[in-house]
């Protein structure tokens, strides 16, 4: 297998001789190290060529909503979708499961279909074929791609049918006011005030953005106003990393009150707690 890919790579990629050699060398090294660490791979993949049968990965081992959202994010990133599209898919997933019993449908089918729906809504339509390949590969990492046979067509049908099911449960309402635009707006506003002289700001805001995305793993994302979520993510990151105390005095006036009028301390704490609770949803791996 290694030789074959190497050959193909050199046909498609090589432009200059030195580049070709580099690629070859790199590939070679990679292969060596791969076989060292994973001696089973070759035989495994040869077996799979006949009938794909992959070992259980983390997704198939624990079919939680958390893992399904993780799956949405992983597939979405692999498909090169915009963050907003992926987040919309997560929202559709939560909205769907608000109405439906946990165990009635296969979560990963629902997850794939929400990605498909979100890509249509956000004008970023992905090809079903790509979605199927990416979804399948994410669930069965070492398996060969699905061949254009019964399994493939069933998969395709199930995504299309599931999409129709979801859209009806969403009552055809595919709009969601994401916190992202508020978040970016707030960051732009507070950045020069808080961190003009410190190098820390990038880390703080990056962390806040991570909180925001991680919060999509929790269905609590549906409960709060997008403005409040955006503030809570920033506040949490500021709390984690600390902020020069001479700049803000929480006793006098919390910094966020200049940005959002209707956010009181209790609500803010509730949202922050909800964000932190998201991390408890993560299944513990042995």
Partner 1 sequence: MASSNNNNNNNLNNVNGVITPPSTPSPNPLQMNMAREREKYLEEYNFPFCEAATKYEKLAKIGQGTFGEVFKARDKKNLKRMVAMKKILMENEKEGFPITALREIRILQLLKHDNVVNLLEICQTRANQFNRYRSTFYLVFEFCEHDLAGLLSNTKVKFSLGEIKQVIQQMLNGLYYIHSNKILHRDMKAANVLITKLGTLKLADFGLARAFSAQKNGQPNRYTNRVVTLWYRPPELLLGDRNYGPPVDLWGAGCIMAEMWTRSPIMQGNSEQQQLTLISQLCGSITPDVWPKVESLDLYNQLELVKGQKRKVKERLKPYVRDPMGCDLIDKLLVLDPAKRFDADSALNHDFFWTDPMPCDLSRMLSQQTQSNFEYLAPRRLNNHQSSSMRPTSSTSSQSSSTSTTSGFHERVF
Interface contacts to partner 1, rule CB under 8 A:
99, 116-117, 120-121, 125, 128, 156, 159-160, 163-164, 167-169, 171-175
Smallest gap from Cβ 262 to partner 1, in A, equals: 23
Residue placing its CB nearer to partner 1 in the complex, 16 or 171: 171
Instruction: Name the residue nearer to partner 1 (CB basis): 113 or 272.
Output: 113
> What backbone torsions phi and psi does residue 199 show, to the nearest 5 degrees?
-90, -5
142, 145, 154, 191 from 148: Cα distances, Å: 18, 9, 10, 52
* CB neighbourhood size of 277 (10 A): 12
**Residue (59 or 108) nearer to partner 1, CB:** 108
- Work out the angle at residue 180's Cα, subtended by the Cα atoms of residues 106 and 219, and round it to the nearest 5 degrees: 35
Burial of 11 (0-12, 13-18, 19+ CB in 10 A): exposed
CB of 108 to partner 1, least distance (A): 17
Q: How far is the CB of 51 from partner 1 (least distance, A)?
A: 19
CB 132 within 8 A of CB 78: no
Residue 285 phi/psi, 5° resolution? -95, 145
Please state the closest distance from residue 164 (CB atom) to partner 1, in A: 6
Closest to partner 1 by CB, 29 vs 177, is 177
Q: Provide the minimum distance between the beta carbon of 93 and partner 1 in the complex, in angstroms, as a whole number.
A: 17
Nearest to 99 by CA among 180, 207, 219: 219
Rounded least distance, CB 116 to partner 1, Å: 7
Of the two residues 134 and 274, which places its CB atom closer to partner 1 in the complex? Answer: 134
Burial of residue 38 (CB within 10 Å: 0-12, 13-18, 19+) is exposed
Cβ distance to partner 1 smaller for residue 164 or 258: 164
């Amino acid at each position: 297998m290694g030789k074959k890919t190497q050959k193909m790579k050199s046909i498609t990629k090589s432009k200059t001789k030195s580049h070709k050699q580099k690629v070859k060398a790199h590939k070679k090294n990679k292969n060596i190290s791969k076989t060292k660490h994973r001696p089973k791979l070759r035989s495994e993949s040869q077996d799979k060529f006949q009938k794909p049968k992959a070992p259980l990965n983390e997704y198939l081992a624990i079919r939680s909503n958390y893992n399904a959202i993780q799956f949405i994010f992983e597939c979405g990133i692999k498909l090169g979708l915009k963050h907003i599209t992926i987040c919309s898919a997560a929202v559709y997933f939560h909205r769907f499961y608000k109405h439906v019993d946990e165990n009635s449908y296969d979560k990963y089918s629902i997850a794939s279909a929400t990605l498909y729906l979100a890509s249509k809504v956000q004008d970023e339509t992905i090809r079903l074929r790509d979605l199927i390949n990416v979804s399948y590969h994410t669930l069965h990492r070492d398996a060969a791609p699905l061949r254009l046979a019964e399994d493939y067509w069933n998969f395709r049908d199930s995504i299309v049918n599931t999409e129709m099911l979801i859209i009806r449960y969403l009552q055809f309402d595919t709009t969601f006011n994401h916190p992202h635009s508020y978040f970016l707006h707030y960051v732009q506003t507070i950045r020069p005030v808080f961190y003009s002289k410190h190098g820390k700001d990038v880390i703080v805001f990056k962390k806040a953005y991570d909180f925001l995305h991680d919060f999509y793993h929790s269905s609590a994302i549906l409960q709060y106003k997008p403005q409040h979520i955006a503030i809570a993510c920033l506040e949490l990151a500021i709390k984690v990393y600390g902020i020069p105390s001479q700049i803000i005095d929480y006793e006098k006036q919390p910094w966020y009150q200049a940005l959002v009028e209707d956010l009181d301390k209790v609500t803010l704490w509730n949202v922050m707690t909800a964000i932190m609770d998201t991390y408890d949803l993560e299944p513990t791996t042995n």
